[in-house]
Amino acid sequence: MKLLKFRQATFADVVSLSELIRRTIRVSNSKDYDQKSIDLLCAIFEPEPVTERIEKELILLSFAGTRLVGTVGLKGDYLRSLFVEPVYQGQGFGRVLTTRIEEEARKNAMPEIMVHSSLTAQEFYSALGYNFVELQSYPEGPFVLMRKPLQ
Ligand SMILES: CC(C)(COP(=O)(O)OP(=O)(O)OC[C@H]1O[C@@H](n2cnc3c(N)ncnc32)[C@H](O)[C@@H]1OP(=O)(O)O)[C@@H](O)C(=O)NCCC(=O)NCCS
């Protein structure tokens, strides 16, 4: 695996972060969601709502060299918005990002961490110790609520 560097997202990252997420949704999630869902999901990650997220939650970015390759967020006890650039998937980057954000949740003394997993990522989260809670329906499509105890 290439050496990853991490830092917190700032307002200067809004455009590149929004592009990474929307590109990943279109490439990686379209096998599990219809076009209407993909368009709604992409709208959630336009630059303006991404700016609001940076104001309100912890968002980490990972870089391979100078290239932005992934992101993950933490809001309360929810892991949010985990995305790995499609050409960098399957190399352990998603696992490293998830571990980093779980560490942040532990620092905040959270007994567990939750995620609204995409259908695409459900097996990924299972591999990392997350348990199925329930299937949930949103205007953007079905998501899977999952939970992992943090010892
Ligand atoms: C889900 C996602 C973040 C995973 O990132 P990744 O870098 O490809 O995952 P990793 O390479 O770190 O995989 C970690 C483990 O999960 C397993 N895994 C990953 N995707 C999997 C899948 N679809 N099915 C089964 N196992 C999977 C890997 O085999 C690996 O196991 P190992 O360490 O024992 O070999 C990435 O695929 C992605 O961005 N998907 C699209 C966006 C998305 O749906 N994000 C989730 C929003 S809630």
Percent of the chain with pLDDT over 90: 96
Return the ligand 1 atom nearest residue 90 CA: 11
94 within a domain of the structure (yes/no) = yes
How far apart are the CA of 82 and the centre of ligand 1, in A? 10
pLDDT score, position 42: 98
How far apart are the CA of 121 and the centre of ligand 1, in A? 6
Residue 14 has pLDDT above 90, yes or no: yes
Integer Cα distance of 13 and 61 in angstroms = 9
DSSP 34: -
- CB of 75 closer than 8 Å to CB of 56: yes
pLDDT score, position 97: 97
The single-letter code of the amino acid at 140 is E
Total domains in the fold of the chain: 1
pLDDT score, position 2: 63
pLDDT score, position 151: 74
133 within a domain of the structure (yes/no) = no
Most informative mutation of 59, 124, 146 for ligand 1 (most atoms within 8 A of CB): 124
DSSP 90: T
How far apart are the CA of 100 and the centre of ligand 1, in A? 15
Return the ligand 1 atom nearest residue 118 CA: 48
Judged by DSSP in three states, 123 sits in helix
147 within a domain of the structure (yes/no) = no
Atom 4, ligand 1: which residue's CA is nearest? 94
Q: Which tokens in the block code for residue 13? A: 């990252």
60-82 average pLDDT score: 96
How far apart are the CA of 33 and the centre of ligand 1, in A? 17
Write the CATH number for 28.
3.40.630.30
141 within a domain of the structure (yes/no) = no
4: pLDDT confidence band, cut at 50, 70 and 90?
A: confident
Residue 30 sits in which domain range? Answer: 4-109
123 within a domain of the structure (yes/no) = no
105: pLDDT confidence band, cut at 50, 70 and 90?
A: very high
142 within a domain of the structure (yes/no) = no
